[in-house]
Structures are given as C-alpha cells and as structure tokens.
Amino acid sequence: MTMQIADSVSLSSPEAKARAHAAAARNNLRTEPRAVRVTIISLAIAFLTVFVVMPLVLVFAQAFSKGIMAYITALAEPEALAAIKLTLLVAAISVTLNLVFGLVAAWAIAKFDFPGKTFLITLIDLPFSVSPVISGLVFVLLFGAQGYFRSWLRDHDIQILFAVPGIALATTFVTFPFVARALIPLMQEQGTQEEEAAISLGASGLQTFFRVTLPNIKWGVLYGVLLCNARAMGEFGAVSVVSGHIRGETNTMPLLVEILYDEYQFVAAFAIASLLAMLALITLVAKTVLERRLDGGEDRDH
Amino acid sequence: MTIEVKNLVKIFGSFKALDGVDLKVESGELLALLGPSGSGKTTLLRIIAGLDWPDAGEVSFNGEDALAQGARERHVGFVFQHYALFRHMSVFENVAFGLRVQPRAVRKDEATIRARVKELLDLVQLDWLADRYPSQLSGGQRQRIALARALAIEPRILLLDEPFGALDAKVRKELRKWLRSLHHEINVTSIFVTHDQEEALEVANRVVVMDKGRIEQIGSPDDVYETPATAFVHGFIGESIELPVQVEAGVVRLGDRPLRLAADGLAPGASKLFVRRHDMLVGPPGSGAFEGAVQHVRNCGPVQRAEVALSGGETIEIDAPRDRELRAGDTIGLNPRRYRIFAG
C-alpha cells in the first residue's frame, strides 16, 4: 500500500520526496517478498481452521443436528443435570481450595526467603508434569480398598473414592499450580516495599494484606482462578480413575460425554460437549480481557 | 527524640553489613549517613525503622528499648528510595493511609482526616495533585508525596533512604534545599542515607561516614571535609590525590625522592599522602614539594584539570585556577597548600 501511495505522489517538492523515502524505508523493513508473506499467513490460517475452528464448529453442529428441541431435551436429562451439578460443585470446591493455597504459596515464595524455597516452587509444578491418570491413581492408593487410610476411613464411615470428596481431591491436585503460578511472578516483581511502607505507617498484617497486597494482585488472582476453573471443569483423566462412573452420581461432564458417545447417543454427547466448549470460549475471552488488565497494571507501575 | 545505637551487628550470610556500629542522634538533628554502596548505611536505617532486625546490639529511642517494638509501633516515618507509593490509591488516599489504619479507638473522623491530608499536601506544595495516581506523577512529585505520607502519622523520627537518588540533577538540587527548609519548619529528628557527598555536606547538620559496616567518622560537614579522620574519609569526600609514600626519620619520600613536607609526629613506615586536587598549587619548577610534567589539560568550568606525571613515577590530576594557563609538556613545581598523611 505504502509503495503505491509513494508512486502516485509527484516527487517535485522536497517534502514529497522525503515522504517517499520514508515510505520506501518502511517497506524495506519488511524484507520478505509479498508471495512469502501470503503463503505463511495462509498456512497459519489453514492450520488453525482444520485443527481448531472446524472441531469447534463440529461440536455445535452435531449438538444441534436433530434440532434445538433434541438439544434441550438432552441437557434436561436427569443424568446430564446431575453431571452439570457435580461439575460445578467440584469446580467450586477445588477453585476455592486452590485460591487459598495459591495465595499462601505465592505470598510465601515472593515475600520471604527460607530454606527449601526452590524445592517448593518445583513441587508446585508437579501436577503439570505428571499424567492426570497417575494423579488419580495416587488417591486410589491412599484411600482405596487396599489403601493406607482404609481402616481409619472404614471405622469412621467416610467414603472418599467413588464419591464427591475423591473427585474434588483429584481435581484440586491436578489444578493446584494455576493460581500460584499466576501470582508468583507478579508478586516477585512487585516486591515487598509497599507492604513495608504500610507496616511502617501503622497497618496491621491483615490491613496490609487487604488494603495493599490484594488490590495489587487482584487481576492476577482472577486470571489464575479463571484458568483453574476451566481446567477443573474439563479434567478427565484423574477424575476418571477416582470417580467409579456411577451414573447420575459420580459422573462429571467430561466423563458423561465419553459414556454417552460410547452408547452412540451423539446428540446428547455433543450437547454436553458444547457446554464445555462454550466454557472454553468464555474463558478465552475473559483471559484476553484480564491479560490486557495485567499488562495495563504493569504499565502503570513505571 | 534522641536515637541511640550501640554495638549494632547485622550479618547477611557471610557478609557483615554492620560490624559494631555506635551512634547517638540528638533530638531535632538532620543527620546524613554517607558511604559507598554496601557500606551498611541502608541496613542501619532499616534496623532503626524496624524493617530489619540486628544480630546483636541495641537501639533505643529516648532511652527506651526500640527493639522491643515492631515497625508498626515505633512511629517512624520512612521514605523509601523508590517511594513505594501505593499504586492503586490516589495521592490523597496514599497520604491518608496512615490515618485510616489506626486502631478504631484513636482513629480520627473523616473530616479531620481530610483536613489533615489537605494540610500535608499544602506543606509539600502538591495539593493540586490530590486526585492523581502515583503513575501520573514525576519523580520529584512522588518523592514529596512519599514524604507527606510518612509525615501523616506524626512520626517521632523521619528516615529517608537515598531520598534524591532516583531524580535528575536539577530536581535533586531543588529538593535538597526544600528538604532542609522543611526540616527547619517541622524539626523532627531526621536521618537520611546517601552516597552523594555533596548532598550530605549541603543538607545535613552532621554527617556520619560509613564504610564496610563501620563508622569511619562522625562530624559536622566542615569537620569531615576539612579534617578527615581516616584515609577512607579523605579519599571518599572531596576529590583527592592519593600517593603512596614512605615516612622515615622525619622525611617523607615518594619513591626514592624526598619531599619537602613536614613529617612531625608521623609513625615511620608505608603511608598514604592525601591532597585535594585544588590544594595543589602550581609554581615554577623546583619551587615546590613535587616536580612534574603536564601531560594533558582540559578545561572544567572554573578550573583547568591537568594530568601531571610526577618525577616519582605517579600520575595525578590537579585542578588549577585558569588565570595561568597550563600546556601539555610544561614542567612545573607543585606545592600542596594543605595535605594529610595517614599511616598504612
């Protein structure tokens, strides 16, 4: 574009010449020829279409393939409603636990020096590096029929495996890095000076946390909670191991999708899947907004 | 409020940040802690504020043990090097913070708080910035807001960590004058940390020169400049020429050349001779204690700075008035108007 404009203006005045030179210089910065640029961009778009856009469209197409009524009926099934309710409950539990844990861990790591700090940071990342199936199996080993706590659990009549506590525990384990990971770099960058200032001005520990620390990290907290929630609702592997697949009781949405699909109930399977896909889309939009806020926050620091 | 520090020791890992510091600050003083980075001056300030704890030693305010109290109870105003303003609060709320977090029993009502913040913003001459956020202020403005915030709690002591360190030269000079007149007005015992000797000499009533966790000298700005107590102080304050000399039998030698300098009362052995650059007077060859050849001359404002190769082998820089022009290649005699010799 710039090239064409430069060509079309008369080069008589020195000003116009200068402008033409500037335009040419701008063009020269983009060294690749037009053909290369077009090829690279088309490749990227084609790849995204096949691997991301088409599956997403397909989920919704399949879900609505028998019309909107069939879609609503599928979602209104007691089994589906139970799965949605269970997923929301488990997500609420694990997000709450991980919010508290993440804040405490990030606070400890960013604001204090103590022996074993590096080890703790590595440990926080552990759930990211092990397969979710293993995470699930660990809880079977701990609480199962042959597990370490089996007699104590039996004596106190507590059911963990194949019940809500087990699913919540496995989900919490798998999602626990999210909040801490979002907060550690943010809090490390912000340092401890504002907290020190607050304390020297007479604020108590709690006042310092709620008036100074928390407002400074609120967008980071939201970001971590958002990603944690998305993963908690979508977790399959770990939950599959500990849930026992009791229909209407211990099936979360991802588990139900698999069961329905195996039973050739495609509309029902994709209807549930479409809810998860929508969750992903909402998460994506919210994530973009939050990332902008976080960047903006950084700009304001300096 | 007097501050007394006794035998303070602070160790970070294998690094001795403070190595037995004793200091007494009188009520209403404006004291400068001056030293190179790593000399322990900021650590000393933070311990007085209660933001760090010593490994040994005592800190007392008006004779009361201050180490028994946390930073929160000490009522010390602290101005951080990078201001540490609360970035999510307006200037007004920043200054009001210390008043709002007071225990309910002593907290003032909203109208009193507003009036007090207004008064402080007037004091630092920034009342028109009340609704801005810290990110919208210049460095000098942030500095003054940080000071207003620290003063809001009516501190018994005011501590400032490198108060002008992050500002450009012109703003720094203005703020220095301003800080001195402000101190005169509010008369709170104040300590500020600086690595800038000019700042310390210009602003403070008394200067504490520190190096490697120890106090080298305490004195008025005139004392530390005119009669430095140690070789370090002489080298650190003012631009000095440092020459390794030998003292034997009442004669000072540079290399194998005896200098025509009095050596009364000096211990024999290797010593260091210090002369301020502008105290080296230029004369004709053979007229002074030193002989040398001018290597290079540059004009620096009111003086000419000449590099002179002494006949003892050392090369020094001197500042000479510009009334008699020096040229590269000139052979000159040099006579120190004032000098000091330290053993070691």
| pLDDT at residue B20, as a whole number | 92
DSSP A115-128: TTHHHHHHHHHHHH
In this structure, is the dihedral angle defined by the CA atoms of residues B59, B146, B193 and B166, taken in order, positive or negative?
Answer: positive
The C-alpha atoms of residue A42 and residue A48 are separated, in whole angstroms, by: 10
Report the residue from B51, B88, B135 with minimal CB separation from A200: B51
By C-alpha distance, the chain B residue nearest A214 is B88
Burial of B254 from C-beta contacts in 10 A (0-12 / 13-18 / 19+): buried
pLDDT in tens, B22-81: 999 999 999 999 999 989 999 999 999 999 999 999 999 999 999 999 999 999 999 998
pLDDT in tens, B175-229: 888 889 889 988 899 999 999 898 999 999 999 999 999 999 999 999 999 899 9
Burial of A226 from C-beta contacts in 10 A (0-12 / 13-18 / 19+): buried
Average pLDDT over residues B330-341: 88
- Assign B255 to helix, strand or coil: coil
Q: Is A204 on the interface with B (CB under 8 A)?
A: yes
Give the E-state strand segments of B138-205 in sequence order: 157-161, 189-194
Q: How far apart are the first and last CA of chain B?
A: 39
Residue A295 CB contacts under 8 Å (≥ 6 apart), including other chains: none
* Cα radius of gyration rounded to whole Å, chain B: 25
Q: What is the pLDDT along chain A (302 residues), one digit of tens a residue?
A: 344 444 444 445 667 677 777 776 666 666 778 888 899 999 999 999 999 899 999 999 999 999 899 999 999 999 999 999 999 999 999 999 999 999 999 988 988 888 888 898 898 889 989 999 998 898 888 888 777 887 888 888 888 888 889 999 999 999 989 999 999 999 988 888 999 999 999 999 899 999 999 999 999 999 999 999 999 999 999 999 998 888 888 899 999 999 999 999 988 999 999 999 999 899 989 988 888 887 765 444 43
The answer to whether B106 and B84 have CB atoms below 8 angstroms apart is no
Using the beta-carbon criterion (under 8 Å), do A200 and B76 form an inter-chain contact? yes
The C-alpha atoms of residue A46 and residue A52 are separated, in whole angstroms, by: 10
- Assign A8 to helix, strand or coil: helix
Residue A46 CB contacts under 8 Å (≥ 6 apart), including other chains: none
Report the residue from B71, B86, B88 with minimal CB separation from A199: B71
The C-alpha atoms of residue A36 and residue A30 are separated, in whole angstroms, by: 11
The C-alpha atoms of residue A196 and residue B51 are separated, in whole angstroms, by: 7
Q: Is the pLDDT of residue B119 over 80?
A: yes
DSSP A189-258: HH-SHHHHHHHHTT--HHHHIIIIIHHHHHHHHHHHHHHHHHHHHH--HHHHHHHTT-TTTT--HHHHHH
Query: What residues of A are in contact with residue B74 (Cβ under 8 Å)?
Result: 200
Please report which helix (H) or strand (E) contains residue B281, including its range: strand B280-283
- Assign A72 to helix, strand or coil: helix
Assigned token pair, A147: 């597990």
The C-alpha atoms of residue B247 and residue A44 are separated, in whole angstroms, by: 81
pLDDT in tens, B232-262: 999 899 888 998 888 887 788 887 778 878 7
Burial of A114 from C-beta contacts in 10 A (0-12 / 13-18 / 19+): exposed
Using the beta-carbon criterion (under 8 Å), do A300 and B133 form an inter-chain contact? yes
Residue B39 CB contacts under 8 Å (≥ 6 apart), including other chains: B210, B211, B212, B213
Residues 66-125 of B with CB under 8 A from A: 70-72, 74-78, 80, 82, 84-88, 97-98, 101-102
| pLDDT at residue A14, as a whole number | 66
Assigned token pair, B277: 């650059």
Q: Is A194 on the interface with B (CB under 8 A)?
A: yes
Assigned token pair, B143: 């500095």
The answer to whether B257 and B306 have CB atoms below 8 angstroms apart is no
Q: At what angle do helices A117-129 and A177-190 cross, to 10 degrees?
A: 140
Amino acid identity of residue B224, one-letter, is: V
Please give the angle made by the CA atoms of B123, B124 and B125, to the nearest 5 degrees. Answer: 90
Assigned token pair, B84: 């540490």
The answer to whether A148 and A141 have CB atoms below 8 angstroms apart is yes
pLDDT in tens, B283-302: 888 778 888 899 989 988 88
Amino acid identity of residue B14, one-letter, is: S
Using the beta-carbon criterion (under 8 Å), do B97 and A196 form an inter-chain contact? no
The answer to whether A65 and A269 have CB atoms below 8 angstroms apart is no
Assigned token pair, B31: 């004291």
Pick among B72, B136, B142, B159 to test the A interface (most A CBs inside 10 A): B72
Q: Which residue has the tokens 């660990």?
A: A138
The C-alpha atoms of residue A201 and residue A183 are separated, in whole angstroms, by: 25
Question: How high is the ipTM of this complex?
Answer: 0.84
Residue B292 CB contacts under 8 Å (≥ 6 apart), including other chains: B308, B309, B310, B311, B316, B331, B332, B334
Instruction: Express as a percent the part of chain B with pLDDT over 70.
Output: 100
DSSP 8-state code for residue B214:
E
Please state, in angstroms and as integers, the Cα–Cα distance from residue A21 to each residue in A14, A31, B192, following that order: 10, 16, 55
The C-alpha atoms of residue B116 and residue B96 are separated, in whole angstroms, by: 8
The answer to whether B272 and B344 have CB atoms below 8 angstroms apart is yes
Quick one: how far is CA A61 from the chain centroid? 25
Q: Which residue has the tokens 């720094």?
A: B172
The answer to whether B161 and B183 have CB atoms below 8 angstroms apart is no
The C-alpha atoms of residue A13 and residue A219 are separated, in whole angstroms, by: 53
Q: Is B161 on the interface with A (CB under 8 A)?
A: no
Using the beta-carbon criterion (under 8 Å), do B72 and A200 form an inter-chain contact? yes
Query: What residues of B are in contact with residue A199 (Cβ under 8 Å)?
Result: 51, 70-72
Using the beta-carbon criterion (under 8 Å), do B101 and A196 form an inter-chain contact? no
Q: Where are the alpha helices (DSSP H) in A130-204?
A: 132-143, 150-155, 164-175, 177-190, 193-200
Burial of A150 from C-beta contacts in 10 A (0-12 / 13-18 / 19+): middle
Average pLDDT over residues B87-116: 93
The answer to whether A222 and A95 have CB atoms below 8 angstroms apart is no
Q: How far apart are the first and last CA of chain A?
A: 36
Assigned token pair, B33: 């802690």
Query: What residues of B are in contact with residue A202 (Cβ under 8 Å)?
Result: 72, 75, 98, 101-102, 153
